[in-house]
């Protein structure tokens, strides 16, 4: 029983620590060869935004095959010269970006860079053509319009699973309607944080947030003239999903010993049926990683993140080579196709294999960096102690940085937290220069906070920590309950 409890704690904290990768931190590789610069960069303006597109990067700078593409970074300039600044990071499987933060009527230019999992970054692409929001007329999705129409779409509605009251899966279907709607904005949050406009469809697959309970999906609609409706919503109760919501706990630097090896792991009642490749992020990828992690020669890091990155691709390649499924240069090498699925499912049906948990960290009190002074500009992509101190301060306010990850890397999650911090304290808002970066105004406010947190915020911080501990204890209790009900199978060699 002691071993089970130790194992449960290790696995739970391992899952929490892995979430740090979501912030856009350094990737999985170790090479020094950068990807080739993207080509074919172009921009097209409409009344609402500017659409930027480019060609996918498939080679390194020396023309060798690129196998660990991680993401692209979008750079923007008002003059097309040397003043380009990063405005966004997009996933490796995406070759477009919609910029809605440029000023109306202002001509802007774009460049794109590609990064691998190390991360090595390519040189900047050639500049795009100049583009701007066209104001009172233009086009959306190829349809031209004038500014005379001022009526937003009518007869709008949204239903989850055709109006069902309950579901046991986070994967649902949304049914939507809206007279004259050409675009829609969907989100699991009422403030539409991180959502982007998409072409209107009457039916679309959707994923709810993790954790059982009442789930709400919000929607807005827009016509060709740019007229936008207010938000509407629909709710459904998620029950028996078996997927718990992640607990946001801030880990410290002090590690605890990993549990001993030998506890069995099983992925029961699951079959691989979907084609999986680099860039995918879903539950199937998580199951794949769990299975690959059983063999340390194939997947020595054993990371279970749900994201199919360069590391997972390498593991799949080793798996395919070990079982004679595919070799380098053969189509499908590094992707999970029918033959790889068949072998994975064959292994799933065999006797349970012992696994060794990975060293993880345990939570302690939130460390507020008293006495630290921020003196330099901090921007997306930086990695140093200043970023770590920044994350520690932001993590003391759950409304600003609910993830609470302290990684030392300034990724997308940290940038979003800084934007919320700036809005909360009246420093900057969307569209302002420096929004999302730690400049002079943001540094001044940050330098005011640590002492205030030490003297007046300690009680609040402890209260938040206690709530996190309580949630963790409940999850441990659930895990122990499951362990007690699961019959144990002897491990075979």
Residues 1 and 56 in one domain: no
Long-range (24+ apart) CB contacts under 8 A made by 9-13 are 9/259, 9/362, 9/476, 10/258, 10/259, 10/357, 10/358, 10/360, 11/357, 11/479, 12/472, 12/475, 12/476, 12/479, 13/251, 13/360, 13/361, 13/362, 13/363
Domain end, chosen from 320, 351, 382, is at 351
* 401-425 per-residue burial string, b: 16 or more CB within 10 A, e: under 16: bebbbbbbbbbbbbbbbbbbbbeeb
Q: Which pLDDT value is given to residue 110?
A: 92
Residue 159 lies in a domain: yes
> Domain with 393 in it: what CATH number?
1.10.101.10
Q: For the segment 344-360, what is each residue's pLDDT rounded down to a tens digit?
A: 888 876 433 333 333 33
Q: Which pLDDT value is given to residue 225?
A: 76
Which sign, positive or negative, has the C-alpha torsion 299, 320, 59, 130?
negative
**Using N-to-C axis directions, what is the helix angle for 440-456 and 385-394, rounded to 10°?**
60
Q: For the segment 211-239, what is each residue's pLDDT rounded down to a tens digit?
A: 788 899 999 998 877 788 999 999 998 88
> 118 or 429: whose pLDDT is higher?
429
pLDDT at 114 over 90: yes
> Domain with 105 in it: what CATH number?
2.60.40.10
Domain range enclosing 60:
42-135
Q: Which pLDDT value is given to residue 361?
A: 35
Q: How many distinct structural domains can be found in the chain?
A: 4
Residues 372 and 475 in one domain: yes
pLDDT at 487 over 70: no
Residue 475 lies in a domain: yes
Residues 160 and 276 in one domain: no
> Hey, how many other C-beta atoms are within 10 angstroms of the C-beta on 34?
20
Residue 260 lies in a domain: no
Q: Which pLDDT value is given to residue 32?
A: 78
Residues 477 and 423 in one domain: yes
Residues 104 and 123 in one domain: yes
Residue 145 lies in a domain: no
What are 91's strand-pairing partners?
Answer: 71
Residues 347 and 364 in one domain: no
Q: Which pLDDT value is given to residue 356?
A: 37
> 206 or 31: whose pLDDT is higher?
206
Residues 376 and 438 in one domain: yes
Lowest mean pLDDT among 133-137, 293-297, 370-374: 133-137
Residue 412 lies in a domain: yes
Q: Which pLDDT value is given to residue 112?
A: 95
Highest mean pLDDT among 10-14, 182-186, 308-312: 182-186
Would you place residue 331 in the very low, low, confident or very high pLDDT band (cuts 50, 70, 90)? confident
Q: For the segment 419-470, what is each residue's pLDDT rounded down to a tens digit?
A: 999 999 999 999 888 899 999 999 988 888 755 554 444 445 555 566 667 6
Q: Which pLDDT value is given to residue 265?
A: 42
Residues 188 and 59 in one domain: no
Residue 37 lies in a domain: no
Domain end, chosen from 300, 317, 351, is at 351
Highest mean pLDDT among 243-252, 291-300, 313-322: 313-322
Residues 363 and 337 in one domain: no
Average pLDDT over residues 122-126: 91
Residue 167 lies in a domain: yes
Residue 68 lies in a domain: yes
Strands, E assignment, 67-153: 69-77, 85-91, 96-99, 109-116, 138-140, 143-145
Residues 375 and 472 in one domain: yes
Strands 353-354 and 264-265, bridge-based pairing: antiparallel
Residues 376 and 486 in one domain: yes
Average pLDDT over residues 56-75: 91
CB 375 within 8 A of CB 390: no
Average pLDDT over residues 325-329: 89
Residues 95 and 210 in one domain: no
């Amino acid at each position: 029983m002691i071993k089970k409890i130790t194992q449960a704690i290790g696995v739970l904290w391992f899952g929490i620590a892995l979430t740090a990768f979501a912030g856009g931190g350094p990737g999985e590789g170790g090479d020094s060869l950068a990807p080739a610069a993207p080509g074919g960069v172009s921009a097209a303006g409409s009344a609402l935004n500017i659409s930027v597109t480019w060609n996918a990067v498939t080679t390194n700078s020396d023309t060798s095959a690129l196998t660990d593409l991680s993401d692209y970074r979008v750079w923007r300039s008002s003059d097309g010269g040397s003043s380009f600044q990063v405005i966004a990071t997009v996933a490796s499987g995406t070759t477009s970006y919609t910029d809605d933060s440029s000023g109306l009527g202002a001509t802007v230019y774009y460049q794109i860079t590609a990064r691998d999992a190390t991360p090595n970054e390519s040189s900047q692409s050639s500049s795009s053509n100049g583009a701007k929001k066209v104001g009172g007329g233009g086009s959306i999705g190829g349809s031209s319009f004038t500014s005379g129409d001022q009526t937003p779409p009518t007869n709008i509605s949204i239903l989850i699973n055709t109006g069902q009251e309950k579901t046991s899966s986070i994967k649902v279907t949304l049914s939507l309607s809206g007279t004259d709607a050409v675009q829609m904005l969907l989100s699991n949050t009422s403030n539409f944080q991180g959502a982007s406009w998409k072409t209107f469809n009457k039916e679309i697959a959707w994923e709810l947030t993790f954790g059982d309970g009442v789930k709400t999906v919000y929607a807005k609609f827009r016509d060709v003239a740019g007229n936008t409706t207010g938000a509407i919503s629909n709710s459904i109760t998620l029950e028996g999903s078996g997927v718990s919501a992640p607990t946001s706990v801030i880990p410290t630097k002090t590690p605890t010993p990993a549990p001993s090896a030998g506890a069995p792991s099983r992925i029961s009642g699951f079959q691989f049926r979907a084609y999986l490749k680099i860039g995918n992020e879903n539950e199937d990828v998580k199951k794949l990683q769990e299975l690959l992690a059983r063999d340390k020669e194939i997947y020595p890091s054993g990371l279970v993140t749900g994201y199919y990155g360069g590391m997972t691709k390498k593991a799949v390649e080793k798996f395919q080579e070990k079982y004679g499924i595919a070799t380098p240069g053969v189509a499908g090498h590094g992707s999970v196709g029918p033959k790889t699925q068949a072998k994975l499912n064959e292994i799933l049906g065999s006797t349970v294999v012992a696994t060794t948990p990975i060293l993880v960290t345990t939570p302690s009190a939130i460390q507020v960096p008293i006495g630290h002074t921020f003196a330099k500009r901090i921007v997306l992509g930086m990695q140093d102690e200043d970023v770590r101190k920044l994350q520690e301060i932001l993590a003391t306010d759950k409304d600003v940085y609910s993830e609470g990850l302290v990684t030392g890397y300034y990724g997308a999650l940290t940038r979003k937290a800084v934007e919320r911090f700036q809005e909360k304290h009246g420093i900057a808002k969307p569209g302002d220069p420096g929004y999302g970066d730690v400049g002079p105004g943001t540094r001044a406010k940050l330098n005011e906070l640590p002492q205030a947190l030490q003297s007046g915020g300690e009680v609040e911080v402890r209260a938040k920590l206690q709530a996190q501990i309580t949630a963790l204890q409940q999850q441990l209790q659930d895990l122990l309950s499951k362990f007690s009900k699961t019959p144990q199978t002897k491990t075979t060699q």
